[in-house]
Structure formats: C-alpha cells, structure tokens
Amino acid sequence: MKKLITLVAVFSLGVASAALAETREAAQNRLDNAGSVLHEIMATPDKGIPEEVLDHAKCVAVVPHMIKGGFVFGAENGRGVATCRIAKGWSAPAFFAITGGSWGLQIGVEGVDLVMIIQNEKGMQRFLGSQFQIGGDASAAAGPVGRHATADTDWKLDTELLTYSRAKGAFAGLTLTGASIRGDEDSTEAIYKHKFSNRSLLLGTVPVPASAHAFLDAVRGAKAQAIASN
C-alpha cells in the first residue's frame, strides 16, 4: 500500500511539473510574440500607432495571435501581457486573460492580434484590479492610426482605453465592447515563480525578469520607431 501511495505521489509530481513547464513555455512565448507584434506594427508607421498616443500611454497591453473565426469575432480564451509606466521606465509585465466581447464584422478571421493603450490613471487602475469589463467598467474607443494623431480627435479626452486589432496584415482601430479582463495567475506564477498580483507587478515593486526584456525593449522601441519614421 505504501509503495502504491509513493508511486501515485511521484506520478502526480511529474504531471504537475510537466504542466508547470508547459505553462511557463506558453507564457514565455506570449511575451516574445507580444514584443514581435509591437515591432512589426511600428515597422509600418503610416499604419501604426501614432507617436502622440505612445507618448501619452500609461500602459501598453498586447494579446498576440488570438485565433478565432466567425461572423462576429469573440475574444474567447485570449491571453496577453501588459506593462505600465513607472519612475524607472516600464514595469515588469503582468499577465491577463480576456473573454467575451464583440469585435465587429471580421468574417472568417484567424490569427488576430489585439493591442490596448491605457491612456490615463483611471484606466491604469482598472488593470491594477483583479477584473473589469471593457465598455462597462472601463470606457474604450477605436484608436487612431498613422504617423500622427490629428489634433481634432477626442482620443486624448476621458477614454480610458484605445483598442486596435491586426488581422491578415491589416492594422486598424477597433471598437471592442463587453470583453472581460482578469488576471492570469497561472502564467504569472510560471514566469515569476510566485503569486504576485497585477497591482504589485504594474506598480513596479517586482524586478523585471530576464524573460521579459524582449517585450519591454519592444515597448520602449515603439515610440523610437514612430519618431524615426517622421
């Protein structure tokens, strides 16, 4: 009986370790892919995020390669990463999951990237919490696209989030409502080996892990790419 219990315990430990390794690999891929999405978007400045928007951003969040088809695109089981401005630059990334929401009429689309620019302190506070709904708790609008954001738009007013999508190479402002965003504790623990809250991560109290450097380099480089293109 003792041998059986020992075997079960060893097997369970092996399964748990394999699951953790798989989660860690997926989270790392998400970080790397999020950085690639930003770099690729800003490599086409006429169709990228304007310099003024990036300069104004409190936080940047990316959900890379979310796969879903259909007439009205639902953001089911999407996972992404976010970072916020702190005194020393940008915070250690926080992981989140996004579910539900209408993405408008994107017929048969697969491989959609989502970018969210959090514009103000109120919007940042949403990401510091455990869960919120876009369009319900947090106001959102389709973000302007191009080298510069025109002065006569209201993108800089009270809107908390500017949202964008990229599908099949096309990048545009996105009207996204009804989506729910919550912390992704499994990915956080896999990368940081600790159950940090999104608040502690995004406020800069947690050191940036080496695994996040490529993503943060892309966030820092996004504005540089926009400026260089002018």
What is the helix (H) or strand (E) element at residue 192, kind and residue range?
Answer: helix 185-192
With a cut of 50, list the residues of the chain below it in pLDDT: 4-16, 18, 69-76, 105-107
**pLDDT given for residue 20 in this prediction:** 54
Whole-angstrom CA distances from 112 to 82, 149, 189, 190 are 17, 23, 26, 25
Token pair for residue 219?
């966030």
b/e code 135-162 from CB counts within 10 Å (16+ = b): beebbbbbbbbebebeeeeebeeebbbb
Tokens of 230: 């002018």
Report yes or no: 229 and 96 within 8 Å, Cβ to Cβ. Answer: no
What was the pLDDT predicted at 229?
59
Q: What is the reported pLDDT for 85? A: 95
- Which pLDDT does position 62 carry in this prediction? 95
DSSP conformation class of 210: G
CA distance 71 to 69: 7
Write out pLDDT tens, residues 69-123: 444 444 445 899 999 999 989 999 999 998 876 655 444 555 688 899 999 888 8
Strand partners, 90: 85
Q: Is the pTM of this model over 0.75?
A: yes
Domain ranges in the chain are 3-228
Q: How far, CA to CA in Å, does 115 sit from each of 3, 14, 78, 190, 205?
A: 52, 37, 12, 23, 24
- Token reading at 1: 């009986």
